Structure 1
Amino acid sequence: MEHMVFRGSAAVAPGEFDLAIEMCGGTSQAATAVDSVQFAATVPASRAAIALTYLGDMLLATALDPEEWGWEQAVIRHEIAEAASEPAVYQALLAAVFPGGAHSRDILGSEADLDRLTVDGLRAFHGDRYRPEHMVVAVVGGISLAATVGMVEEAFAGNLPPAASPEAIVAPPCPPGGRQTLTVPGLSTAQWWLGWAGPPADCPREGLALELASAVLGEGRLSRLVATLREEWGWVSDIGTAFSPSREGGVFVVRAQLAADRLPAVAPVVSEILASLWQKGIAEGEWQRAKRALKNQFAFAMEDPSQLAAFLGYQVLAGNAPWVADWSRTYPGWIDEMTPDYVQRIAQTYLGRSPAIVEAYPA
C-alpha cells in the first residue's frame, strides 16, 4: 500500500506529490514497519498546507489503478529479491520470539504473497485501514496550533465510504521458540543471537528500564558484555544489546559475532553477565553512564523535525498520547526517576526467562 499511495489519486497524478514537495524546497519519504506505516514531508512552515493537502488526498483517496499496480509489483519483486540476498538471521530470531505474530513475518512478504494480492484485495485493505480514525497526523515546526488544526481538518475531512472488510490473511507457519541453527551464505563469521519478548510500546516505563539495562550490559566499550568478552578476553569480534519496542511487544536482543569454536565458552559467560544485573546490582558509575547515554541518544534522535514528528506520531498511535504533549521533559524526567532496583526487577522479569536462540554459520 505504501507504494500505491505514491501512485496518486483521482486528483493527484503519479509523481506529482514528490515534484510539488521538491518545488517547495522540501523532501518526502515513507516507511513501513511491522505495526505501522509512515508518510512524511519536510517543507517550509509556509508550505505546510500544500503538503497536508496532498497527503490527505493521496492517503484517503488512493487511486489503486490496476496498471499502476502492475508497475509496482515489479518494483516490489526486485525489493524482495534484494532482501533475500541479505542474511535473514534477525528475522529468524523474531519468528522464534513471536511465533505466529506479526513480527514473525517479513515486512516485504514473499513473491507468493505478492502473486496472491489483487487490486480488489488492496482496495478492501485500504478501505478498512486508511481512514482518519486509524491515523495520527504529527506536525512539527514554527506554525501555530490553531492554523495546524485547521489545515489538518481540511486536508483529512471528506465523505468516506463505509469501512470495508478485507479478506483475512492467513499467517504462514512459524518455527517454535527455542534454538535454531542456520547456514547463511555471505556470512564471514559465526553469529549468535538471543531474543526475549519485552513490554509493548504502551508500557514506556518498562521499555525505558530495558533500554537502561541494555546500556549497562552491551552498549559501549565500558558495558559489561563488551568490556569482558571483547575488550578484555578477545573472545568475540563484536557483541551488543538492544531493546526495540512495538505495539505487539518489544524485543530485547543480544548479538555476538565470533569464531564458531568460541561459542561453547561464550554462551555461559553471557548468561552469567546477564544474571549479574539483577543478582549483584548496578554500580553507581555504570548507572550514571547508562542514564547519560540514553539522554544523549534521545536528544540527538530528535534534532530533525521529521524525526520528532515520526516519534510523536508513533507514540500517539501506540496509546501514549497523555505524555506526548510534554515529551521534551517527560522522557528525560522518567530517566531521572528510574532507580537501579526498578531496572533490576524489570530486567529479571523479562530477561530471566529462557531466550530464543539463533546460531548462524557461514555456508
Structure 2
Amino acid sequence: MTSSLLNTPSLNAPTVEKLPNGLTIVAEQMPVDAVNLNVWINVGSAVESDQINGMAHFLEHMVFKGTPKLQSGEFERLIEQRGAVTNAATSQDYTHYYITTAPKDFAQLAPLQLEVVLNPSIPDHSFEKERMVVLEEIRRSQDNPRRRTHRWAMETTFDQLPYRRPVLGPASVIEQLQPQQMRDFHGRWYQPESMTAAVVGNLPVTELIEIVSNGFTQAQPRAIEDRTNLPPEPAFEKIVRREYVDESLQQARLVMVWRVPGIPELKETYALDVLAGILGRGRMSRLFRDLREERQLVT
C-alpha cells in the first residue's frame, strides 16, 4: 500500500513512506518513553488573499471544535484523561498539529488527532464564539511591543510578498469571515497531498506507520491547486530606514533585516542560520557580548 522514498539504510535515518493518496509519513523509533505525531500542512497565511487574511490561523482554532464523530471538547477530554499533550501553530507557510502520548496510548489517541484535523465540522455557533477569541488574540498582539516591532519590520522588509501581512490577519477581515468560507478553505488545502506526518517514539516503525496511515483510510487522492508562484523580492540595493514613534515604550528597539536566499537554496539557508546563531543567539553570541557585556549599550 505504500512505497518507500528512502532506501539507503542508516543508523539515524528515518523511514519515509508515501501513501497512494499523497500523504508523506516520516517515522523513526527512538528509545524514549513517548510518541510524538506532528502533522504538517503546506498552507499558511501566504496563500490567503487580502480578503481572507487570517483564515489559516482562525481555522487552526476551529479544528478543535468538534467533528461528526467527536463533540466539541470531547477530543481534549480524551487526550487529557491519558496525560497526553496536544497543540497547534500557524505561520506564513505552514500549519501544524501535534500530539505527544505514552507509547501504550498512541494507537488509541493518534486517530483522534487525525480525525479533528481531517474532519472538522466548523459549526456556525462555535465559529461565532471563536471569532471573539481570535479578535482578542489580535488585540493582545497589537498590545505586545515585540510583536508590533516585528510587524513594522516585516512591512518594511517586503514590498509585495504576503509575508508583510500578519498571520493573525487584521480584525476588520476576521469580523467579516463566514463559516462556509472556512469550510471551503479547509476542503481546498487540508488534503493528504499537502500533508506530511512525522511520527517518532518508542514503537516499531512499521507500527507507527500503520497507525498513522489507518487514520487516512477515508482520505482520497485529490488534485491540489497550484500555489501562486511568489517571486522573491531582490536584495536591498541600499539601506532602508524606518523610524516609528511608540509612546508606550520606555526603551528604543532596533530591528535589522536582510533579504537572503530562501528554503529552495537550502545550503545557503543552513549557513545563514549558523551565522545568525553566532552573531545573535544566546548570551555567548558576539552581539550580546559586544553590545551588552562590553560596551553596555543595550539591556
TM-score for both structures, normalised by structure 1 = 0.58
1:198 to 257, 260, 267: 260
Contact 2:282 2:288 in 1 (8 A): yes
Amino acid at match of 2:298: S
Displacement, 1:25?
A: 1.6
1:216 equivalenced with 2:278 (yes/no) = yes
SS in 2 for 1:30: strand
- Identity fraction in percent: 28
- For the aligned residues, what is the CA RMSD? 2.5
**Deviation, structure 1 residue 55:** 1.9
Which one of the candidate residues 38, 41, 63 is aligned to 1:5?
63
Q: Work out the CA distance in 2 between the residues paired with 1:72 and 1:221.
A: 39
Q: Which of 96, 117, 128 lines up with 1:38 in the alignment?
A: 96
* Contact 2:138–2:170 (Cα < 8 Å) also in 1: yes
Q: Which residue of 1 aligns with 2:164?
A: 104
RCO greater where, 1 or 2, for CA within 8 Å and sep 6 or more? 2
Shift in Å, 1:221 = 5.4
Where does structure 1 lack aligned partners over 5 or more consecutive residues? 169-175, 239-363
**Residue of structure 2 in register with 1:237 after alignment:** 298
Residues 245-264 of structure 1 aligned to structure 2 (within 5 Å): none
Q: Which has the larger radius of gyration?
A: 1
Report the AA paired with residue 158 of structure 2. F
Distance 1:3 1:220 in 2: 32
> Which residue of 119, 136, 140 corresponds with 2:179?
119
Deviation at 1:178, TM superposition (A): 2.4
Aligned equivalents of 2:250, 2:209: Cα separation in 1: 53
1:79 aligns with 2:137: yes
Residue of structure 1 equivalent to 2:111: 53
Using the alignment, how far apart are the partners of 2:204 and 2:72 within structure 1? 31
Residues 1:18 and 1:137: Cα distance change in structure 2 (over 3 Å): same
2:122 equivalent among 57, 64, 68:
64
* Number of equivalent positions: 229
Q: 1 CA distance for matches of 2:92 and 2:244?
A: 23
Offset at residue 204 of structure 1 (A): 3.4
CA displacement at 1:226 relative to structure 2: 3.3
> Is the partner of 1:7 in helix, strand or coil?
coil
Whichever residue aligns with residue 257 of structure 2, its letter is G
Asked if structure 2 preserves the Cα contact closer than 8 Å seen for 1:127 and 1:163, the reply is no
- The structure with the greater share of residues assigned to helix is 1
1:290-337 CA distance string (max 9 Å, x none)? xxxxxxxxxxxxxxxxxxxxxxxxxxxxxxxxxxxxxxxxxxxxxxxx
Instruction: Identify if the C-alpha distance between structure 1 residues 222 and 44 changes in structure 2 by more than 3 Å, giving closer, same or farther.
Output: closer
Question: Hey, what's the Cα distance between the residues in 1 that align with 2:280 and 2:224?
Answer: 46
TM-score by length of 2: 0.70
Could you tell me whether the CA contact under 8 Å between 1:31 and 1:38 is conserved in 2? yes
Q: Could you give the per-residue CA deviations for residues 161-188 of structure 1, whole angstroms, max 9, x where no partner exists?
A: 96697xx9xxxxxxx9922111124321
Residue 204 of structure 2 is aligned to residue 140 of structure 1: no
Deviation of residue 81 (structure 1)? 1.2
